[in-house]
Chains A and B, each alone.
Chain A
Amino acid sequence: MAKVTLVEAVNMALAWEMANDPDVVLLGEDIGRNGGVFRATVGLQERFGPLRVQDSTLAEGAIAGMAVGMASQGLKPVAEIQFMGFLYPALDQIGNHMARMRNRTRGRLTMPIVMRMPHGGGIHAPEHHSESLETLLCHHAGLRVLCPSSPARAYGLLLAAIRDPDPVMFLEPTRLYRMAKQEVLDDGLALPLDRAFRLREGEDVTVVTWGAMTHDVMRAAEQLSLEKIGCDVIDLASLSPIDHDTVLDSVARTGRLVIVHEAARHCGVGAEVAATVAERGLHDLLAPVRRITGYDTVMPYFKLEHDYIPSVARIVDGIRETART
Chain B
Amino acid sequence: MKNVADFIIRFGQWLDTEGKPTRALPEFAQDPGEVERMYRMMTLCRLFDAKAVNLQRTGRLGTYAPCTGHEATHVGVGAAMQPEDVLCPVYREYGTQLWRGVTLTEILVYWGGDERGTDFAGPRQDFPWCVPIASQTPIAAGVAMAFKVRGEPRCAVAYIGDGGTSEGAFYEAMNAAGAQKLPVVFVVVNNGWAISVPVAAQTAAQTLAQKAIAAGIPGVQVDGNDVIGVRAVMEEALVRARRGGGPTVVETLTYRLSDHTTADDATRYRPAGELEAAWLREPLVRTRRYLESLGAWDDAREQALRSDCAAQIDAAVQAYQATPKDSTDAMFDHLFANPPEALEEQKDTARRWAAPRGTGH
Contact = CB atoms under 8 A, between A and B. Distances in A.
B172 interface: yes
A165 interface: yes
Interface stretch (B9-17, B145-153, B264-272): B145-153
Contacts of A93: 135, 138-139
Interface string B123-146: 011011010100101111111111
Contact of A105 (B119, B132, B343): B119
A19 interface: no
Contacts of B125: 72-73, 109
Interface in B299-345: 330, 334-338, 340-343
B146 A102 contact: no
A244 B342 contact: yes
Interface string B106-124: 0000000001101110001
Interface stretch (B26-34, B40-48, B173-181, B235-243): B173-181
Contacts of B86: 72-73
Contacts of A54: 145, 180
Contacts of B141: 62, 65-66, 69
Interface string B76-90: 000000000010100
A67 B88 CA distance: 14
Contacts of B341: 194, 241
A92 B86 CA distance: 22
Nearest to B178: A57
B337 to A, nearest CB: 4
Nearest to A141: B335
A107 interface: yes
B142 A65 contact: yes
Most buried by A among B127, B135, B336: B336
Contact of A166 (B116, B118, B176, B336): B336
Interface string A118-148: 0000000000000000000000011010000
Interface in B172-226: 172-173, 175-176, 179-180
Interface of B: 86, 88, 115-116, 118-120, 124-125, 127-128, 130, 132, 135, 137-150, 156, 168-169, 172-173, 175-176, 179-180, 330, 334-338, 340-343
24 contacts: A57-B175, A61-B168, A61-B169, A65-B138, A65-B142, A67-B142, A69-B141, A69-B146, A70-B149, A72-B142, A73-B143, A92-B169, A96-B135, A97-B139, A105-B115, A105-B128, A106-B330, A108-B120, A109-B127, A165-B338, A193-B338, A194-B341, A241-B340, A241-B341
Interface of A: 25, 51-52, 54, 56-57, 59, 61-62, 64-75, 77, 89, 92-93, 96-97, 102-110, 141-142, 144, 164-166, 193-194, 241-242, 244
The 7 closest A-B pairs by CB, nearest first: A69-B142, A65-B138, A66-B142, A241-B340, A73-B146, A62-B172, A69-B143
